[in-house]
Structure 1
Amino acid sequence: MDGNGHMSHWSEAFEAMDLDALKEMRKTIDRAISGYETRKRKEALTALEQAAKEHGFKLSDLVADQKPGKGRRSSDAGAEAAYVNPEKPDETWSGRGRRPRWVNDALAAGRALEELKAQS
């Protein structure tokens, strides 16, 4: 409650409302929150576009190659294959990050990780 008694005023108003009125108020509040978040996103996007423009770019030029998960894989892109799938030699794994399914399948079948090592 603030010094002006606003919290008390709202609590009393809510308690006086029936369930349907409260649900309708919740929908109205949810729409207001969504609208607020949409406006904030648009403001942020405009600011980003302006910053990109000031540096001589379009925002789409800067984020075109940034797809979810792609950055993580690109860090391993130059990594040499440490392990090779004996059934499909084109399937490799650097030994970093999450194990591919074929590695997990081979381990589950009783093979040792050492058996999957790539030949230098």
Structure 2
Amino acid sequence: MSKDLESMSRDELLTLKQDVDRALATHDDRKKAEARAAAEKAARDHGFSLDDLLSAQKKSGKKNPPKYRNPEDPRQTWSGRGRQPGWVKAALDEGRNLENFAI
């Protein structure tokens, strides 16, 4: 599409602009569809469906149950995993035993 923009009329330029705007608006959707089709083909080539591969990567969504509870605020709990909450750190700094907070 090799048009000389200088020689185009205003109506032709506006039409071209609308065409470009329309193409830009759907560009990402088209590229995503192409990528999904390529991913589905690659999964099929290996004996899987794309949904099989994607569902295997999803986390189960299960939370670890709480093991410890703050006696001063029972809404505050901790599973014993990850960073210690502030109330646990403060209690341990005071010399209290973590088992005192066990549920």
Which structure would you say has the larger RCO, counting Cα contacts within 8 Å and 6 or more residues apart? 2
TM-score, normalising length: structure 2: 0.50
Find the structure with the greater CA-based Rg: 2
TM-score, normalising length: structure 1: 0.45
